[in-house]
Structure 1
Amino acid sequence: MLFVARRHTEESQLEPKRARMNFHPTLSFSEEDKIGTIQPHDDALLITLRIEDYDVKRVMVEGGSGAEVMYHDLNKGLGLKPEDLMPYNSPLVSFDGKLVIPKGMIRLPIQTGPEIVEVNFIVVDTYSPYTTIVGRPWLHTLGAVASSLHQKLKFPS
């Protein structure tokens, strides 16, 4: 224990110095985190996110993706118009290996718990069973860790 001497007007005494508490949580997963999942499985991690004040289901968390992708159906569902999109000219490669030309890019807020993060979504007009894909940029901004095995996403808040 650390002690610091303090001078008082009447007498001097030793008092313990209080440690500063810098909280840096360790994000990890345990066997208990698998409770409620059917094991073994190879399911993608799907979550619901609050995007632009809407609860959006079937959002795939893909730690291998270097971009956030929004599919055209969700873009329409949010009431966004083509003029809301910023130009985006780099083609993407879909899961089946085909080249996809984006319609553009849009910056929208995502609320995850108490955190709100502005995200650049690349909008594509192609079929997907998902509404959007969030990848490393979003995960890293939140300091989040995803586990498809545990079907959970953890982040400090």
Structure 2
Amino acid sequence: MTMVERLLWLADELSRRSREVKSAAVERRAVSTAYYAVFHAITALCASELVGSGAASKKTPEFERVYRALDHKSLKSAFSASPLNNNQFFKAIGDRIVELQSERIRSDYLPGGRLYKKSECDRLVRSARSIVEALKNLSPQDRRTLAVYLIFKNRPQ
């Protein structure tokens, strides 16, 4: 099981258990964990596309450097800019990622208290899972496009 799969499993488990323990903290952790599953799926995609996806490539300093190059703010900016926001598929994924990112920030930083109904927590976790699946099913060209535009800044021409 990959780290992304484990994070998704954990988000599902936390969401399910939040019903039993009736805890806003558990719901918040489920949403935050779901976002991080998506973030790690994206960083792995970028590193694999730009450095290589083989076991040997993943152990290199270059792979780690690309994996760590993406930050949360630039992720949001890239999905708001051309060419990603001009492509319907990337726009749909980007909108859902930005929503998850916003909810992760709310979950992690707002003062205590309930933020989500159970159905909303479940929806956000399901959204994360579907984003990860969509990323897995990208064509090689779309994977490369996504990696390049997420990692490298747009410069005015």
Q: Give TM class, smaller chain.
A: under 0.3
The structure showing larger relative contact order (alpha-carbon pairs under 8 Å, at least 6 residues apart) is 2
What's the TM-score once normalised by structure 1's chain length? 0.22
TM-score between both structures, scaled by the size of structure 2: 0.22
Where is the strand percentage greater, Structure 1 or Structure 2? 1
